[in-house]
Structure 1
Amino acid sequence: MILADKMFPRIAWPVIAVALVTALTGCFSSEAPVSEIYGSAMGSTYSVKWVSVDGAPDEQALQKSIDELLGQFDREVSTWRADSDLALFNAESGGICMTMPTSVLELATLANTLHRQSGGSFDVTVGPLLKLWGFHGGNGAQIIPSEEALAQVLSGVGQQRLRIEGNRLCKDANISVDVSAVAAGYMVDKLVEHLGSFGITSYMVEVTGELKAAGLKPGRRPWRIAIEEPRDHNRVAQLIIPLDGYGVSTSGDYRNYFEFEGKRYSHTFDPASGKPVMHQLAAVTVLRPSAAEADGLSTILLVKGPKDGWQFAMDNDIAALFVIRKNEGFVSRSTPQFKALQQGEE
């Protein structure tokens, strides 16, 4: 998601697809071998639930190892600390290459793929636009910038100026990179890999609202997640679906926005115009085997909107649920791939 609040400034209510996860996954009998841990991550929280297996570490040991992974990721990728690898890259002017850790290189590779596939709708260099409009850093005041100020900031935006050479990240202009649009999903995938290294195959992993689940709970029941209705303040489940081997990400404009002269300005930006998207697509949920891909694709579809986003999803076989504003309410539209997964089919 291209979100102003995601990388990683503060605890916030993310736009998520797990509004009722605790209620749906926490009702086990006392003898059921299900473990769970919770912690802080990326300015928000994480949770991991898994079916215990012989030889796996206990909850305390596993949490320690997960916290270490998340801490290392923060030191490499966070743009909210001046000493992270990515922050040091951003502090340099254009025309440089810097050696980067694997996490940054993998995220940049995915970001470049999404940028090309989306025709530029996905862009990890829009951070200065978020700041200009008051969504990210600055004095916190959300404003409508002048066309002159917008043009000046847009001149420093453009993912096409970012490239990878071996183990180095390079930029041809003075751009700033923020990979928060895929970072949480990426860490979900990494934590899933970490669980797999201990033989754990039945789990639900959630980081700041992005999640993935696989396997079965005791009693051969599937993990289920609730996708919330896009309301500004209340958290209400719109539908509940089983999840097995898929990551899920929801992007929406209904939690982080401001209104001016009757218009809603959200924190999701069109990289081409430099302005918040203004269409009627309130939220979109994507299911994908890779949580990182789901994270990025939900952003792309939200940027493209209800018409172009739908066509992009259909052309690329994306399992997606669109929630569109209509009059005083919402209408939903699901791609065939999403409908099949909603019914628990392959």
Structure 2
Amino acid sequence: MGTSYHVTVVADGVDADGLKAQIDALLLRINQQMSTYDSDSELMQFNRSEQGKPFELSPELAFVLSESQRINLLTQGAFDVTVGPLVNRWGFGPEEERVIPAAEELATILENVGAKWLSISDDGRQAIRRRPIFVDLSAIAKGFGVDQVAELLRDEGYLNYLVEIGGELRVKGHNALGLPWRIAIERPNLAPGSVQAAIALLNRSVATSGSYRNFRDVDGERYSHTINPVTGFPVAHNLVSVTVVTDTCAEADAFATGFSVMGPEASLAYAESNNMAIFMLTEVDGRVVERWSSAFNQYLDD
């Protein structure tokens, strides 16, 4: 997944080496299913599959693709796993671009971007590419990996743990002090690791998406790495990070990305309408301003 993971288990007599071996094997399997770094992964085989021809899916990939399509609809297209070609063309992929794409070029790329070109069978066992789309699950697969590790720990009988992959995490029970797990929300400034706020969680998942570290300056203009899959352009709003708290980390991961595209006003309106807990940092006149939904109040650690 191109990142690190961390697991904390609060229990007596933990076989750390044995548990690590189980977790490594699980994450390796997920990587072989969903990685775009591995040309032989199941996902990359799907990305090379014949257009219009059903492709048999593993249960795990089927779930993540179905969940991606569900959240795509809920965010009105803001979360879209086919946005990769646009991200690459704006210079945030493996090849760095220094020329801003013309409108005609973006229009051509957009012809093969869109969740509507990805079909999943009613039984969820097959997927079809209706256009030569390229599916990239980097905005949901880490969260799914967190969920899978958490469920492994649950199945092993552990009651108190924290699982984190690349900053996305899920907790259950209490920490070593018998208290709710305390999670820091990073402050978007020039001092990485500084804390903007702390939240207290029990049996929840949390993911953060931010634009404050990944951007490009071209000809005096700053472009965010967050690309709107509907317009093809980098977002231009003042939302610098959004943290989402939900039951599953896959959902939190995907919604955090979708909200980063939607911007602060639309995200807050959605969160309030759907009783979703989100915490946003926006930039106003050079200052960082905190905003959060009503459902987030319960997590603020005073």
Q: Give the TM interval when normalised to the shorter protein.
A: over 0.9
**Residue 45 in 1 paired to residue 4 in 2?**
yes
> In the superposition, relative to structure 1, how do residues 183 and 142 fare at CA in structure 2: closer, same or farther (>3 Å)?
farther
Q: How far is the alpha carbon of 1:337 from its aligned partner?
A: 0.8
Encode CA deviations 1:114-151: one digit per residue, 9 max, x unaligned.
0111111111000111111111123x234411112111
Encode CA deviations 1:132-188: one digit per residue, 9 max, x unaligned.
1111123x2344111121111111101011121131111211111111111111111
Q: What is the identity, as a one-letter code, of the residue corresponding to 1:115?
A: N
**Residue 179 in 1 paired to residue 146 in 2?**
no
What is residue 39 of structure 1 aligned with on the other side? Answer: none
Tell me if the contact between 2:66 and 2:120 (Cα under 8 Å) persists in the aligned partners.
yes
Q: How far is the alpha carbon of 1:262 from its aligned partner?
A: 4.0
What is residue 168 of structure 1 aligned with on the other side? Answer: 126
5+ unaligned residues in a row in structure 2: which ranges?
none
Pick the aligned partner of 2:148 from 184, 187, 190: 190
Q: What is the identity, as a one-letter code, of the residue corresponding to 2:261?
A: V
Measure, in 1, the Cα distance between the counterparts of 2:178 and 2:128: 48
Q: How far is the alpha carbon of 1:310 from its aligned partner?
A: 1.3
**Residue 305 in 1 paired to residue 263 in 2?**
yes
Q: How far is the alpha carbon of 1:202 from its aligned partner?
A: 0.4
Encode CA deviations 1:227-268: one digit per residue, 9 max, x unaligned.
011125532101111111111111110111112344321111
Pick the aligned partner of 2:274 from 309, 316, 321: 316
Q: How far is the alpha carbon of 1:99 from its aligned partner?
A: 0.6
What is residue 56 of structure 2 aligned with on the other side? Answer: 99
Aligned residue runs from structure 1 range 92-171, under 5 A = 92-138=49-95, 140-165=96-121, 166=123, 167-171=125-129
Q: What is the identity, as a one-letter code, of the residue corresponding to 1:43?
A: G
Measure, in 2, the Cα distance between the counterparts of 1:163 and 1:262: 41
What is residue 199 of structure 2 aligned with on the other side? Answer: 241
RMSD: 1.5
Measure, in 2, the Cα distance between the counterparts of 1:330 and 1:218: 33
Measure, in 2, the Cα distance between the counterparts of 1:270 and 1:136: 15
Pick the aligned partner of 1:278 from 233, 236, 242: 236
Tell me if the contact between 1:232 and 1:254 (Cα under 8 Å) persists in the aligned partners.
no
TM-score (norm 2): 0.95
Q: How far is the alpha carbon of 1:72 from its aligned partner?
A: 0.8
Measure, in 2, the Cα distance between the counterparts of 1:241 and 1:234: 18
Q: Which moved more, 1:162-171 or 1:230-239?
A: 230-239
Q: What is the identity, as a one-letter code, of the residue corresponding to 1:284?
A: V
5+ unaligned residues in a row in structure 1: which ranges?
1-41
What is residue 74 of structure 1 aligned with on the other side? Answer: 31
Percent identical residues = 36
Encode CA deviations 1:2-35: one digit per residue, 9 max, x unaligned.
xxxxxxxxxxxxxxxxxxxxxxxxxxxxxxxxxx
* SS in structure 2 of the partner of residue 44 of structure 1: coil
Measure, in 2, the Cα distance between the counterparts of 1:290 and 1:186: 8
Q: How far is the alpha carbon of 1:298 from its aligned partner?
A: 0.9
Measure, in 1, the Cα distance between the counterparts of 2:50 and 2:232: 21
> In the superposition, relative to structure 1, how do residues 251 and 99 fare at CA in structure 2: closer, same or farther (>3 Å)?
same
Q: How far is the alpha carbon of 1:94 from its aligned partner?
A: 2.0
* SS in structure 1 of the partner of residue 80 of structure 2: coil
* SS in structure 2 of the partner of residue 72 of structure 1: helix
